[in-house]
Amino acid sequence: MTFYHNAKLAVALTLGLLIASQADVSGATRRRAVGRPSTGGGGGGGVSLTTPNPTNPLEWNNRGVELGLKGMWDGAVHAHEEALRNDPFNMTFRQNLSAAYLRYGQSLLQKHSYAEAAQKLRTSIYVDPENRQADEFLSSAIKGTGKNPDDANVRQHLADDFDINGDYVSAISEYRHYVRMKDSGAAWYALGRVLVKQGSSVPAKLVEGYTAMRTAVTKAWEPGEKNELSKCHAALGDILKELAFTARDSGRTQPALKRMLNAGIEYRRAVTLNPLNSDAIRGLIEVSREAVQVNPSFDNRLMLGGAYQLVPDFEHAKREYIECFKIGKGNPALAQARRSFHLAVVSSSQASPPMVAESMQKIEDQLRTSPGDAELLYIYGRGKETLGDFPGAIAAYQAAAKINANVHPQLQVRLSTLLGGGPVKSGSQPSKIAGTPDGAPAVAQKAGAPGSLATAAGQPAGAAAPPKEPPKPTVNYADGEAKLASGDAVGSIKFFEAIIDKSPTDGHAWFMLGRSQEKKGDLEEASVSYRQATYSKEAGAQAALDQLNATRMQPAMKEYDKNMADKNYVGAASSLKEAIDLAPKNADLHRKLAALMKQTGDAKEADRETHKAEEIEKGGK
pLDDT in tens, 203-242: 889 999 999 999 999 888 988 898 999 999 999 999 999 9
- Residues 270-309: tens digit of each pLDDT: 988 888 888 999 999 999 999 998 899 999 999 999 889 9
Note the pLDDT tens digit of each residue in 535-561. 778 888 888 888 888 888 888 888 888
The percentage of residues in the chain with a pLDDT greater than 70, rounded to a whole number, is 83
**pLDDT at residue 50 is higher than 50:** yes
Query: Is 440 a residue whose pLDDT tops 80?
Result: no
Q: Which residues neighbour 189 within 8 Å (Cβ) at sequence distance 6 or greater?
A: 212, 213, 216, 228, 229, 231, 232, 235
Which residues in the chain are classed under CATH 1.25.40.10? Answer: 7-149, 223-419, 492-552, 554-617
Q: What whole-number distance in Å separates Cα of residue 320 and Cα of residue 180?
A: 47
- Residue 437 has a pLDDT of 31
Question: Looking at residue 541, what is its pLDDT?
Answer: 87
Q: How confident is the model at residue 530 (pLDDT cuts 50, 70, 90)?
A: confident
Q: State residue 25's pLDDT score.
A: 35
- Residues sharing a CB contact under 8 Å with residue 473, sequence separation 6 or more, in sequence order: 404, 406, 407
User: Residue 178: pLDDT above 90?
Assistant: yes
**Helices 569-582 + 587-599 axis angle, to 10:** 160
Average pLDDT of span 188-198: 95
Query: pLDDT tens digit string along 58-68?
Result: 999 999 999 98
Residue type, 185: G
- The fold adopted by the segment(s) 492-552 is 1.25.40
Phi, psi angle pair for 348, to nearest 5°: -95, 140
Per-position DSSP letters for 543-575, written without gaps between them: HHHHHHHHHHTHHHHHHHHHHHHTT-HHHHHHH
Q: What percent of the chain has pLDDT over 90?
A: 41
Taking alpha carbons only, the member of 27, 12, 16 closest to residue 93 is 16
- Most confident of the following: 112-126, 347-361, 456-470: 112-126
Report how far apart, in Å, the C-alpha atoms of 517 and of each of 10, 185, 460, 481, 554 are: 44, 22, 50, 13, 19
Report domain 223-419's class. mainly alpha
373: pLDDT strictly greater than 70 = yes
pLDDT at 51 over 90: no
Crossing angle for the helix pair 203-218 and 226-249, nearest 10 degrees?
140
pLDDT for residue 496 is more than 70: yes
Sequential DSSP letters for 179-225: HHHS--HHHHHHHHHHHHHHTTT-HHHHHHHHHHHHHHHHS---GGG
Question: Which of the four CATH numbers 1.25.40.10, 3.40.710.10, 1.10.760.10, 3.80.10.10 does domain 7-149 have?
Answer: 1.25.40.10
Contact 240, 259 (CB under 8 A): yes
pLDDT value, residue 422: 46
Write the Ramachandran bin of 362: left for phi over 0, alpha for psi from -120 to 50, otherwise beta.
alpha
Task: Write down the pLDDT at residue 474.
Answer: 61
CB distance 54 to 22 below 8 Å: no
Q: Looking at residue 102, what is its pLDDT?
A: 94
CA atoms within 13 A on the CB side of 476: 8
- Give the chain's mean pLDDT: 81
For residue 6, pLDDT beyond 60: no
Give the pLDDT mean for 116-125. 94
- Tell me the C-alpha to C-alpha distance, in Å, between residue 14 and each of 19, 274, 338, 522: 10, 54, 71, 47
Taking the C-alpha atoms of residue 360 and residue 42, their distance in angstroms, rounded to an integer, is 92
**591-612 in b/e burial notation, b at 16+ Cβ within 10 A?**
bbbbebbeebbbeebbebbbeb
CA gap 489, 512 in Å, rounded: 10
pTM of the full structure: 0.62
Q: How do residues 390-411 score in pLDDT, each as one tens digit?
A: 999 999 999 999 999 888 888 9
Does 442 have pLDDT greater than 60? Answer: no
464 band by pLDDT with thresholds 50, 70 and 90? very low
Name the CA dihedral angle for 199, 204, 206, 212, rounded to a multiple of 10 degrees: -130
Nearest to 272 by CA among 218, 329, 226, 303: 226
Give 170's pLDDT tier (boundaries 50, 70, 90). very high
**How many of the other CB atoms lie within 10 Å of CB of 577?**
16
**Class of the CATH domain delimited by 554-617:** mainly alpha
What separation in angstroms does the CA of 371 have from each of 97, 214, 374, 397, 403? 73, 45, 8, 13, 11
pLDDT at residue number 620: 52
